[in-house]
Amino acid sequence: MPKPISRNILFYGDNLPILREYIPDESVDFITLEKPAKDMTIEAVSAGFYHSNLWQKDYPRVQILTIKDLHNGKNIELPSYSSGQTFKQAEKQAIEAIDVYQTISLEVAEIDLKEAVRLAGRYNIYAYDAYILQCAIEHNLPLISLDKDLIDIARQEGIEVIEVAL
């Protein structure tokens, strides 16, 4: 049985240990900015399927979608629910959340991928962490993170770090 965890926590970095240790397989819908790593995809597939007796259909126990997938209209596969008040409230909240998400200004920033790979090798970090650092370096942007190791590396690289108090 997974360890208990409080709600509304954002995990940054390699989330496979978090998924394995804290989150029951039946309860995971994972949304990521980047295409999932091979080991994450394997983990999701190995979790198998949940069979809904009511709807006589199988649903993946662990689903990984990127923000791009969601933006392009892909949905999390879920059993349908009755049209009770609870679902109507959840639907309304989901639509409101999508409206808020669509107001966020996003910009695609080109970076020197070779330099990012060098950063990853130099500090033995994941490529996506290195991409974030390289973007901060090239575009003179500060870093906001709860990942202490990433913050330490950012400081070593001369990147401004904005502290977050919890």
Query: For residue 22, what pLDDT is reported?
Result: 67
pTM of the model: 0.40
Type of residue numbered 37: A
What angle (nearest 5°) sits at the alpha carbon of residue 7, between those of residues 4 and 13? 85
Asked whether 96 and 2 are in contact (CB, 8 A), the reply is no
Q: What is the pLDDT of residue 12?
A: 62
pLDDT value for 136: 95
C-alpha to C-alpha distance for 55 and 163, rounded to whole angstroms = 48
Local structure of 117: helix, strand or coil: helix
Low-confidence ranges of the chain (pLDDT < 50): 83
Query: What is the tens place of the pLDDT at every residue in 97-107?
Result: 788 778 877 77
Q: Which residues of 85-99 are buried (b: 16+ CB within 10 A; e: fewer)?
A: eeeeeeeeeeeeeee
Write down the pLDDT at residue 114.
95
Q: Residues near 125 by Cβ (< 8 Å), separated by ≥ 6?
A: 119, 149, 150, 153
Do 30 and 62 form a contact (C-beta atoms < 8 A)?
yes
